[in-house]
Amino acid sequence: MSKAQIEAVVQMIAIPEEEPPVAEQRAAMEQMAAAFPSQVQHGEAVELGGVPCEWIWDDATRDDAVLLYFHGGGYCVGSIATHRNLIAALAKASGVRALAVDYRLAPEHPFPAAVEDAVAVYAALLERGRDPSKIAVAGDSAGGGLSLALMLSARERGMPQPACAALLSPWTDMRASGESFRTRADADPMIVRDRLLVMVGRYIGAASTADPLASPLLADLSGLAPLLIHAGDAELLLSDSTDLAKRAEAAGVDVEIKVWDDMVHVFQAFYPLVDEGRESIAEIGAFIRDRTA
Active site residues: 141, 235, 265
- Cα separation of 183 and 238, whole Å? 10
CA dist 89 → 33, 108, 127, 219, 227 (Å): 14, 30, 27, 31, 19
Q: Which residues pair with 26 in a beta bridge?
A: none
Query: Which letter, b or e, does each residue of 214-226 get, where b requires 16 or more Cβ atoms within 10 Å of its Cβ?
Result: bbbbbbebeebbb
